Amino acid sequence: MPVINRIADFAPEMTQWRRHLHAHPELLFDCHETAAFVVERLREFGVDEIHEGLATSGVIALIKGQGDGPVVGLRADMDALPILEATGAEYTSTVEGKMHACGHDGHTTMLLGAAKYLTETRNFRGTVALIFQPAEEGGGGAGVMVEEGVLETFGIDEVYALHTMPGAPVGDFHTCPGPIMAAADTFNITITGVGGHGAMPHEAVDPIVAACAMVDAIQTIVSRNSDAYKQLVISVTQIHSGSADNIVPESAWLQGTVRTFDKGVQQMVMRRLAEVVAGIGATYGLKTELGYEEGYPATYNEAHRTAFAAEVAAEIGGTVVDDAEPTMGAEDFSYFLEKRPGAYLFLGNGDTANLHHPEFNFDDTAAPYGASFFARLVERLSPIS
């Protein structure tokens, strides 16, 4: 079955919204103009309540259906990225160095499209909570909203979100039950030795040799300490030290990322990193300091809601893959899914450059699929009769 007819009717209007948003990207929590645009549209549609200023520039709007029923949270992220756009599109970013390279302009448009349809038709029971969120690309706007208590304030019972997916045909949906995206943590290590002459290393304590040993040893946390059936990535992504060929530097600094699906694996990594860093420090006789910052948690799809969402997607979309491979990327919708059951799905965006690439281009023909998915999800979840 194709997209909802009424939504197909106003698809050209959605394209205009999307291109306006694309031309005016904003970063992190500073999504004020985007939010103002969203609020203007929501007022035109006639939603029942609009709440602004959540997580700085987020918006939550309510649409009431006919009679009692659950409160369904539908989420779109609104923020862009610090990238210099290279699409050459007519609607290219008007702000140099900022670009919607992750399709959040499209996500916002899809949710607006669903809002327009649902306010017109109200062919459902209960309430829809439209969640327009800033700061997905760092900052964890979803986590801030959860801390502000939006789930309790608005009585949200379950939550759903979509993300655009380059490489899959437009209208195809990909999802899976259980973890679909990883937890993303950051660690950094400071190694302090004793500086000296490069020709007399015995008079110095060399942090570079220790740093190399640490990078090697850290790889064994994946290969020797972790169950092969439980996904784990540890990448050391930065090493900084030294200033000349004849100087043993005094210190070295390393940074990296840890990606996990399982809390137990994450705990093991935290413990082993501490042991490896301290152990190598002792072996080489220098001081070490380990910083570990837990980032976005794993994005966990509840099995029944995911199966239901896949059924809805099959009604309005193309091919639906309901056992897709999870990705080691991360997503802050996970904060909502930690507190409420729901599902996160990818929506095909055709053949374009990948997410976060300066040539990524959102396909406007995908937006009616996303809007129809959200709208039909609500109608199927709490039908009137």
Complex with Ni ion: residue 127 or 164, whichever CB lies closer = 164
CB-based contact 63:42 (threshold 8 Å): no
- Nearest residue (CB) to Ni ion, 102 versus 290: 102
CB of 126 to Ni ion, least distance (A): 28
CB 204 within 8 A of CB 241: no
Q: For the CA atoms of the chain, what is the radius of gyration?
A: 24
- Binding region for Ni ion (CB under 5 A) out of 14-22, 99-107, 149-157, 257-265: 99-107
Q: Which is nearer to Ni ion, 102 or 205 (CB)?
A: 102
Comparing every residue's Cβ against Ni ion, the nearest one is 102
Nearest approach, Cβ of residue 238 and Ni ion (Å): 23
**158 strand-pairing partners:** 72
Name the residue among 313, 349, 314, 369 with its Cα closest to residue 169: 349
Least separation in angstroms between residue 144's CB and Ni ion is 17
For Ni ion, which stretch binds (CB under 5 A), given 2-10, 98-106, 186-194, 219-227? 98-106
- Residue whose token pair is 């991360």: 330
SS3 159: strand
In terms of CB distance, is 102 or 115 closer to Ni ion? Answer: 102
Q: Which residue in this structure is represented by tokens 């304590």?
A: 205
Structure tokens, 331? 């997503």
What string marks each residue from 55 to 94 as x (binds Ni ion by CB under 5 A) or -?
----------------------------------------
Do 128 and 62 meet the contact criterion of CB atoms below 8 Å apart? yes
Closest separation between CB of residue 369 and Ni ion, Å?
Answer: 17
Based on the shown chain and the rule CB under 5 A, indicate whether residue 102 belongs to the binding site for Ni ion.
Answer: yes
Between 102 and 347, whose beta carbon lies closer to Ni ion? Answer: 102
384, 66 Cβ separation under 8 angstroms = yes
Nearer to Ni ion, 64 or 259 (CB): 259
Contact 74, 162 (CB under 8 A): no
Distance CA 326, CA 300 (A): 10
102 versus 269: smaller Cβ distance to Ni ion: 102
Count of residues engaged in binding Ni ion, rule: CB under 5 A: 1
Based on CB atoms, which residue is closest to Ni ion, 102 or 337? 102
The single residue listed with the structure tokens 């095909």 is 348
| Least distance in angstroms from the C-beta of 35 to Ni ion | 18
Quote the least distance from Cβ 163 to Ni ion, whole Å. 6
Smallest gap from Cβ 104 to Ni ion, in A, equals 6
- The minimum distance between CB 164 and Ni ion, in angstroms, equals 8
Nearest to 271 by CA among 211, 215, 226: 226
Q: Sketch the per residue contact string, 291 through 310, with Ni ion: x for CB under 5 A, - otherwise.
A: --------------------
3-state secondary structure string, 21-76?
Answer: HHHCCCECCCCHHHHHHHHHHHHHHCCCEEEEEECCCEEEEEEECCCCCCEEEEEE
Residues near Ni ion, by CB under 5 A: 102
